[in-house]
Structure 1
Amino acid sequence: MAQPADLLAVLIDADNVSAAKIDAVLAEVAGFGTASVKRIYGDWTSTQLSTWKQAASEHVIQPVQQFANTVGKNATDSALIIDAMDLLYTRRFSGFCIVSSDSDFTRLATRIREEGVTVHGFGERKTPVAFRNACDTFTYLDVLEEPQDQPAAVAPTRKTTQELRQDTKLVAGLRACITTASGEDAWANLSAVGSLMRKQQPDFDSRNWGYAKLSDLVKATGLFVLEPRTTGGLQIRNKTK
């Protein structure tokens, strides 16, 4: 459980993210800490943001007005970046949640992390790899579960055992992380393996392959041995021939 001290700043690029996902995003953010600041940036005089107005009001997200003064120039990004730096220098936040699929926030994420502050990114599959890798964690919007009173988005199809085994990046990453996290007995704590995977691949998430839990994904590959630990949790090792 997150402690009250785990304060987060949630900054949303309204020009770049659909309002339909805000419930699921905030539910995911709650797992990281307390969203004490929630701001959303855009030109609120534009009809394109009409769906965001109700969503922002319902979730008590502060709208920040930024006029699009020049065609082809994204003033919204600049406003979000300036606010993020101002909030960073208050030293009050343990993490920032940047909700956007825009590569313009790559340097911002990097700069925040240079201060020892965690960055959680949220965006669509089209998000450039540079921004994804600049975050500590990056979650694709399509893997987030929608509230029951909202129409569900199309979630990633669950991959079969054969498809998982053919995913060389996934298999090689798991094997390498197990080796790194294991002791002399070759067993590794599954949660430690998951943490290592995400440090190396910020967008690593078992839901990307259609599995709710890392343990379910690992079992589905059929390439690893998974057992309960005597101290709680699960342990994992590579299968021997």
Structure 2
Amino acid sequence: MAAEKSQRLAVLIDADNTQASIIDGLLSEIAKYGVASVRRIYGDWTSPLLKGWKEILLEHSIQPIQQFGYTKGKNATDSAMIIDAMDLLYTGKFDGFCIVSSDSDFTKLASRIRESGLFVFGFGEKKTPSPFVSACDKFIYIEVLRARVNENEAIKRKSSAELKNDTRLVRLLRNAVDASSDEEGWAHLATVGSNIAKQSPEFDPRNYGYAKLGELVNATKLFDLEERVLADGQSKSIYLRDKREKRKKNIT
């Protein structure tokens, strides 16, 4: 399922598990997928720990939801977010949800929203437990958003050798190309990207230091890339093929 920019999204932020410094990158990223019709952030606003968030809420039209920590060691914020999310889900007014947290407590919520046919975007740190990541349609690591707004935190670009040695990445790319390819082994880059997203919600070329999927694929040096002119004579599209396919054909 591809997200359209016209989609209405509900953005729910766990202030206890998210730093205010990522807000610009977060909202810019969300704008790629749709319109943030609802923007809510949850936490105990009497706590000095949320001072950073207090200073930017009005600027970005984010509604703070007060949730006192009634019991030490228990996160009441999560419960409030989950209840609100279900209320919003039942209105039937939204096409998707953006859950901003690194907390595994939202795993069941993400699964429930997806069961209702809505798209779920997750945002959290790389320490986010894998069950929550897998429960989302797409998961974006906050480290990528920090790098987007702060050059000093830019993710180091991995070399071709490093990419080739990443067996999980290589397997993911090859499986996606194989699943999307024609009889000659060529696959449309956009289709490959969609296939990867279905297999791995957290996949993002920016995690490897590359802005686009095509740049990452090219850097692996494991695929042939071909730019083709479409029927209109103006638009161009990129196709790729596993280099092993070419060797197979030469042998036969």
Q: TM-score range by the shorter chain?
A: over 0.9
**1:42: which partner in 2?**
43
Q: Give the partner amino acid of 2:37.
A: S
**2:222: which partner in 1?**
223
- In 2 relative to 1, CA 211–40 (structure 1 residues): closer, same or farther, beyond 3 Å? same
Rg (Cα) greater in structure: 2
Q: Give the partner amino acid of 1:230.
A: V
Task: Report the Cα offset of residue 2 of structure 1.
Answer: 4.2
Q: Give the partner amino acid of 2:205.
A: S
How many angstroms apart in 2 are the aligned matches of 1:3 and 1:157?
30
Task: Report the Cα offset of residue 62 of structure 1.
Answer: 0.3
How many angstroms apart in 2 are the aligned matches of 1:67 and 1:3?
35
Task: Report the Cα offset of residue 3 of structure 1.
Answer: 4.6
Structure 2 regions of 5+ residues with no counterpart?
231-235, 248-252
| 8 Å contact from structure 1 (residues 21, 146) kept in 2 | no
How many angstroms apart in 2 are the aligned matches of 1:189 and 1:136?
21
| 8 Å contact from structure 2 (residues 193, 213) kept in 1 | yes
**2:56: which partner in 1?**
55
Q: Give the partner amino acid of 1:44.
A: W
In the alignment, does 2:25 pair up with 1:24?
Answer: yes
Partner SS for 1:60? coil
| 8 Å contact from structure 1 (residues 2, 34) kept in 2 | no
Question: Can you list the C-alpha shifts for 1:128-152, whole angstroms capped at 9, x where unaligned?
Answer: 11111100000011112444xxx44
Give structure 1 regions of 4+ aligned residues with deviation exceeding 3 angstroms: 1-4
RMSD: 1.3
How many angstroms apart in 2 are the aligned matches of 1:115 and 1:21?
29
Partner SS for 1:72? coil
How many angstroms apart in 1 are the aligned matches of 2:29 and 2:152?
16
How many angstroms apart in 2 are the aligned matches of 1:20 and 1:61?
14
How many angstroms apart in 2 are the aligned matches of 1:174 and 1:3?
26
Between 15-24 and 185-194, the greater mean CA deviation after superposition: 185-194
How many angstroms apart in 2 are the aligned matches of 1:89 and 1:20?
32
**1:98: which partner in 2?**
99
**1:160: which partner in 2?**
159
Number of equivalent positions: 237
Q: Give the partner amino acid of 1:38.
A: R
Q: Which has the higher helix share?
A: 2
- 1:209-220 to structure 2, matched below 5 A, reads 209-220=208-219
**1:119: which partner in 2?**
120
Task: Report the Cα offset of residue 57 of structure 1.
Answer: 1.4
**2:240: which partner in 1?**
236
How many angstroms apart in 1 are the aligned matches of 2:68 and 2:228?
56
**1:173: which partner in 2?**
172
Task: Report the Cα offset of residue 155 of structure 1.
Answer: 2.5
Q: Give the partner amino acid of 1:66.
A: Q
Question: Can you list the C-alpha shifts for 1:50-102, whole angstroms capped at 9, x where unaligned?
Answer: 10011211100000000000001100000000000000111111110001000
Q: Give the partner amino acid of 2:69.
A: A
Task: Report the Cα offset of residue 228 of structure 1.
Answer: 1.2
How many angstroms apart in 2 are the aligned matches of 1:19 and 1:3?
25
**1:188: which partner in 2?**
187
Structure 1 regions of 5+ residues with no counterpart?
none
Task: Report the Cα offset of residue 154 of structure 1.
Answer: 1.6
Partner SS for 1:89? helix
Task: Report the Cα offset of residue 184 of structure 1.
Answer: 1.4
